[in-house]
């Protein structure tokens, strides 16, 4: 049974908080995952009440949710996003690990195009340091080359397996995902630069200094953290 104030409620509160802050006329990047889905549904309710927005989805999932909510879709060719709303797997300050849903390549592209990233999350995502494996989208041919390269960076790489099919997860872009454990990541910006420099890496899940606001659902409400205001 879902508990009042449990993680599902916290995700809903976080999603509703970010959705409430979207101005009329905005082009919104739609992130992926269960918390971003709460923001999309909340925006759908605002659209039903007359809000005028257009959405740029970052995955098959967020495109379907937008369609179900009757939110008009556009692409990066049509319009520049004003803001991106997305979830995260780990949050330390304003640095993030993303990619639990294997959508981080498009998520980073859309968030970068927007220049404004609002993160929505439940309280379990908060940590003092980024301490989870980093999802890395890779070209399929690159896996045997990248595994030793990641080990030489101190990582412990694992090719992500699909849950309901034999074989690996294939991203919406037709690539594979390597989850690479680095323990506690002391200098995320340095690791991000090292990962980005490896041929065969399409995109890694370290989002360093990109988040402008973080809406964290709590047991009693929402804690909104704004970069630069603390």
Residues serving a catalytic function are 107
| 13 touching ligand 5RP, by CB under 6 A | no
Contact code string over 43-82 relative to ligand 5RP, x by CB under 6 A: ----------------------------------------
Can you tell me the distance from the alpha carbon of 139 to that of 202, in angstroms, rounded to the nearest whole number?
7
| 216 touching ligand 5RP, by CB under 6 A | no
| 31 touching ligand 5RP, by CB under 6 A | yes
Cα atoms in the 13 Å half-sphere on the side-chain side of 52: 2
Dihedral-angle region of residue 99 (phi above 0 means left; psi in -120 to 50 means alpha; beta otherwise): left
Least separation in angstroms between CB 203 and ligand 5RP: 10
Q: What is the CA radius of gyration of the chain?
A: 17
| 29 touching ligand 5RP, by CB under 6 A | no
Can you tell me the distance from the alpha carbon of 217 to that of 17, in angstroms, rounded to the nearest whole number?
9
Query: Quick one: which of 10, 17, 26, 35 contacts ligand 5RP (CB under 6 A)?
Result: 35
Query: Quick one: which of 5, 9, 21, 34 contacts ligand 5RP (CB under 6 A)?
Result: 34
Query: Quick one: which of 99, 155, 157, 217 contacts ligand 5RP (CB under 6 A)?
Result: 99
Q: Mention every residue, 6+ apart, whose C-beta is less than 8 A from residue 227.
A: 94, 211, 212, 213
| 33 touching ligand 5RP, by CB under 6 A | yes
- Detail the residues annotated as belonging to a binding site for substrate: 32-35, 86-89, 98-101, 125
- Detail the residues annotated as belonging to a binding site: 32-35, 86-89, 98-101, 125
Least separation in angstroms between CB 69 and ligand 5RP: 17
| 175 touching ligand 5RP, by CB under 6 A | no
| 89 touching ligand 5RP, by CB under 6 A | yes
Residue 49 burial (10 A CB sphere; 0-12, 13-18, 19+): exposed
* Residue numbers at the binding site for ligand 5RP (CB under 6 A): 31-36, 86-89, 98-104, 107
């Amino acid at each position: 049974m879902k508990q009042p104030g449990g993680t599902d409620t916290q995700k809903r509160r976080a999603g509703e908080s970010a959705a409430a802050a979207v101005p009329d006329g905005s082009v919104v990047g739609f992130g992926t995952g269960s918390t971003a889905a709460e923001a999309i549904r909340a925006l759908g309710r605002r659209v039903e009440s007359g809000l005028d927005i257009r959405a740029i989805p970052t995955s098959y999932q967020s495109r379907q949710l937008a369609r179900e909510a009757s939110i008009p879709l556009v692409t990066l060719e049509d319009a520049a996003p004003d803001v991106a709303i997305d979830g995260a797997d780990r949050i330390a300050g304003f640095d993030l690990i993303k990619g639990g849903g294997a959508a981080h390549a498009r998520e980073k592209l859309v968030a970068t195009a927007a220049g404004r990233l609002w993160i929505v999350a439940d309280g379990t995502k908060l940590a003092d340091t980024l301490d989870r494996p980093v999802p890395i989208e890779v070209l399929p041919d690159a896996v045997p080359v990248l595994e030793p390269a990641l080990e030489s960076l101190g990582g412990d790489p694992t090719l992500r397996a699909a849950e309901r099919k034999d074989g690996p997860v294939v991203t919406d872009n037709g690539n594979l995902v390597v989850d690479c454990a680095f323990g506690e990541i002391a200098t995320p910006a340095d690791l991000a630069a090292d990962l980005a420099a490896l041929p065969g890496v399409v995109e890694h899940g370290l989002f360093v200094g990109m988040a402008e606001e973080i809406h964290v659902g709590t047991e009693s409400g929402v804690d909104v953290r704004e970069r630069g205001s603390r």
